[in-house]
Amino acid sequence: MSADTLTYRRLIDNAMHLYREERYREGIVYLNRHAHKVEGNLAQIYNLLYSLTARAGGTNLAIAIFQEAVEEKGLWYSGKYLRTEESIESMRGYGDFDRLVRICEGREAEAHLNARSELKIVAPSKSEAKSEGARLLVTLHGDRENNELNGPHWEKAVEEGHVLALVQSSVEDFSDAYVWNDLPKGGMELKEHLATLDKKFCIPSERIVLGGFSEGCQAILHAILEGLVKARTLLLVSPRLTHIDQWAHRLGALEGMNVHIVAGEQDDECLKCSRNLAALLDGQGIRNHLRLVEGLGHDFPMDFDRDIEAALGD
């Protein structure tokens, strides 16, 4: 893959592919060669590096990489993960591992104590704002991501004169890596942020677009099915929908909405979810459009602006 097409998500997916194939040394070389070329979650990259190194038999070096992440970079990882994860079993009880775990557990406890969902609003300037008919695009990040990673993909909405709002989960899995695994909590957070946005902009639900990536899509669907939020249009990118079978009979709640689904043909897990969702929506007569992107894995397509324009035009 050439450097100009490399993204953070592709970097992680490629490294994970090498890990799953037990090509650990190749994974280490790949990350050392390419990680500096992308902006992303440093904690995730360090985690892959010390996990691959441990699997390759380099326990001493794996501990050193872990120590650099914790002591020099100020990162933390879940204590439960560090004490139970199979990939780093060789590191346990070795050198400074236990001391570093205790540092992580202290940081984790502090992070959870101060946990709160964040809302970031990006509004167009007065000269760029639409005089009438402006939409509100509210987006949820993917698994182990954050608003900083998510935001740039959706900026086309602001360029077109609409309001963009980024919602970040309160549940932090490790440093700057937020998840939507508590769906009831995530649904309430989304509901509260929409109430805040309603007070500020007074944009009715008929002009609201809810957009998500990966597990953010599941959080959106859950909130809609539970009657917590309303929208005119959904824009779901690489949706990871582990509950779709249980929700199949409830998808009638999306009646009257327009659902745009974008998935990569090389996204092994979420391509199936996307096709299943589109088929279920077709079966219930709910308007939807599935766009499959050739050569794309678990990521946003390079021409994602066209999907934003389509969703905002509904």
Assign residue 231 the CATH number of its domain: 3.40.50.1820
CA angle 47, 75, 192 (to 5 degrees): 100
How confident is the model over 216-229, as pLDDT tens digits?
999 999 999 999 99
Q: Which of 121-135, 174-188, 254-268, 286-300 has the lowest mean pLDDT?
A: 121-135
User: Which of the listed residues 93, 113, 133 is the one where a domain comes to its end?
Assistant: 113
Amino acid at 311: A
Q: Quick one: which of 134, 146, 137, 63 has its CA closest to 100?
A: 63
Q: State the residue range of the domain holding 32.
A: 3-113
Average of per-residue pLDDT values in the chain? 95
Residues 6+ apart with CB under 8 A from 81: 174
The alpha carbon of residue 285 and the mean position of all alpha carbons in its chain are separated, in whole angstroms, by 29
**How many structural domains does the chain have?**
2
Q: pTM of the predicted model, to two decimals?
A: 0.94
Joined tokens for residue 183? 């769906």
- The predicted structure's pLDDT at residue 28: 98
- Give the end of a domain, one of 82, 113, 144: 113
Enumerate the β-bridge partners of residue 223: none
pLDDT tens-digit profile of 192-201? Answer: 999 999 999 9
User: Are residues 137 and 64 both part of a single domain?
Assistant: no
